[in-house]
Amino acid sequence: MDAQWDDLKVFLAVARAESLSGAGRILKVDPATVGRRIARLEDAYGTAFFGKSPTGYALTDAGQRLMGHAERVEQAMTEAADEIGGTSGGLTGQIRIGAPDGSANYLLPQVCAKIAAQNPDLEIQILALPRVVNLTRREADMVVAVSPPNAGRLSVQRICDYKLHLAGAEAYLRQHAPIERVTDLKSHKIIGYIQDMIFDKELDYLRETGLTDVDLASNSVSVQINWVRQGAGIGVVHDFALPAVTGLRKILTAEVSLTRSFYLVRHADDRRLERQNRFAAALVEGMRAEVTRLEALT
């Protein structure tokens, strides 16, 4: 049984990573070993589960059929580990959270640090990506999203609202023309997202201000905030990020005040996993408290 489950874990890793090297990184083994394990599995079943495509390893029809069975076995094994291991002590194992880089850089580290301190045998990974994290491919166990998904067998929990405002570096604001109304921004450098790389409509902040021309653009919130900090121009900044970036000041707060929400997204089947439920509850509670605390400082 253990050998069969080990082979299915290799199969799932290749299916999700779509490459031997990617699966090897997940499993912490070399790609050649992954290839041998897949060959052994295919020999045992007498069929090919993967075909080589221009983008990597793609599931064949037989692979697609095995995928559903393998995921059910994975779910059952995880549930068994939770039940046998008990839930009275601290959390153990590994949990990976996917998140946009704004929350991943300025919010999740301190929240997860507290959870880790209370659960010393728990390994927490934060996957910061300027795109939607794919739960179907198990890129993460759960995702902090800025809008609720509308497809897939997913569980969605609203975490909290958060605020964003226009901001500039104190030195920049002293040295450039006063900004007393939104129309004054036309004479200033504007910092924002690369328009065709905005992966969620909720991130299209500047459109709400009527500003469509961006002088300095990046797909990363951290890059944008660093540009603002360096005095390169004016940008939209999360209120919860401001305490971590010295020398910035919010402007036009009466005219431009944006509210967005965070959501915790998980596989629907994972709601049966007590370990993940406990972690999710701690994460949600921690994020709500930390957003409230940081926004009160601005």
**Domain coordinates of the chain in residue numbers?**
2-85, 93-160+261-296, 162-259
Pairing of strands 216-217, 154-169: unpaired
- Output the pLDDT for position 81: 64
pLDDT in tens, 56-69: 888 899 998 898 88
pLDDT in tens, 149-174: 887 788 999 999 999 999 999 999 99
Using the predicted structure, report yes or no on whether residue 226 has a pLDDT greater than 90: yes
Q: Measure the CA–CA gap between 48 and 17, rounded to whole angstroms.
A: 17
Mean pLDDT of 171-186: 94
Mean pLDDT of 211-238: 95
Candidates 1.10.10.10, 3.30.160.620, 2.20.25.90, 1.10.1200.10; CATH matching 2-85:
1.10.10.10
The two three-digit tokens of residue 231, written as one number:
């005095």
Superfamily of domain 93-160+261-296: Periplasmic binding protein-like II (3.40.190.10)
Alpha helices in the chain (DSSP H): 2-17, 20-27, 31-45, 61-85, 101-106, 108-118, 170-175, 221-229, 274-296
Q: Measure the CA–CA gap between 119 and 115, rounded to whole angstroms.
A: 6
Q: Measure the CA–CA gap between 216 and 189, rounded to whole angstroms.
A: 7
Contact 291, 107 (CB under 8 A): yes
Alpha-carbon 213 to chain mean position: 28
Q: Measure the CA–CA gap between 14 and 138, rounded to whole angstroms.
A: 11
State in words which class domain 162-259 has.
alpha beta
Using the predicted structure, report yes or no on whether residue 184 has a pLDDT greater than 60: yes
> Please, which pLDDT band fits residue 25 given cuts at 50, 70 and 90?
confident
